[in-house]
């Protein structure tokens, strides 16, 4: 299994799908799994139930996916803040998709559908990058830069990185 982490706008879902196709394995995204299970969009869970409820669902979903999914798994940007999740990730092949502020802001656009960005998208993304980059770096076996690059180029670099490394 290969796990993609990184902040919103890093391209985890797009690159993850491509990578899974190339490896001929399944793809799962924890936000999508949470939405399927709850029958609600992530933003509605934040608004109706609150962030704490979302994080609890996310923690359980990530744990189950790490147990059961065998392929490429993309985690929601904030999933790695949870210490229990951090511990579960330790034995896995974790790839950090790095993105700088300018590209992240470009990719998330107005941030619709991403409740944590409401208000000032650029300031919110900067805050999340500053707070989380050390965590992503600490958990990753490989780091791949995504700034100015197409998803296919990023997926190709991940493929090279993971094929040249022990699982």
- Report the b/e string of 149-158 with b at 16+ CB within 10 A: bebeebbbbb
Site string for ligand S3P, 65-84 (x = CB under 6 A): -----------xxx------
Return d(Cα 75, Cα 24) in angstroms, integer: 20
Output 72 or 164, the one with its CB closest to ligand S3P. 72
In this complex, which beta carbon is closest to ligand S3P, that of residue 102 or of residue 165?
Answer: 102
- Minimum distance from residue 130 beta carbon to ligand S3P (Å): 13
Q: Is 42 in the site for ligand S3P (CB under 6 A)?
A: yes
Shortest reach from residue 129's CB to ligand S3P, in Å? 10
59-67, 111-119, 134-142, 155-163 -> range binding ligand S3P (CB under 6 A): 111-119
Q: Confirm or reject binding of residue 12 to ligand S3P (CB under 6 A).
A: yes
| Tokens, residue 125 | 């993304």
d(CA 116, CA 110): 12
Alpha carbons 162 and 15: distance in angstroms, whole number: 14
Per DSSP, what are the bridge partners of residue 72? 2, 27
């Amino acid at each position: 299994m290969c796990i993609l982490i990184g902040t919103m706008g890093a391209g985890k879902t797009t690159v993850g799908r491509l990578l899974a196709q190339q490896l001929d394995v399944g793809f799962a995204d924890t936000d999508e799994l949470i939405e399927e299970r709850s029958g609600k969009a992530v933003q509605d869970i934040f608004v109706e139930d609150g962030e704490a409820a979302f994080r609890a669902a996310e923690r359980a979903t990530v744990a189950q996916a790490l147990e059961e999914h065998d392929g490429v798994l993309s985690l929601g940007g904030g999933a790695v803040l949870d210490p229990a999740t951090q511990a579960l990730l330790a034995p896995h092949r974790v790839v950090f998709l790095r993105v700088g502020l300018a590209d992240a802001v470009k990719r998330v656009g107005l941030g619709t559908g991403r409740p944590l960005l409401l208000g000032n998208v650029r300031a919110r993304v900067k805050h999340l990058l500053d707070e989380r980059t050390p965590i992503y770096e600490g958990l990753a076996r490989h780091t791949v830069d995504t700034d100015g690059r197409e998803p296919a180029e990023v997926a190709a670099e991940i493929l090279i990185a993971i094929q040249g490394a022990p699982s």
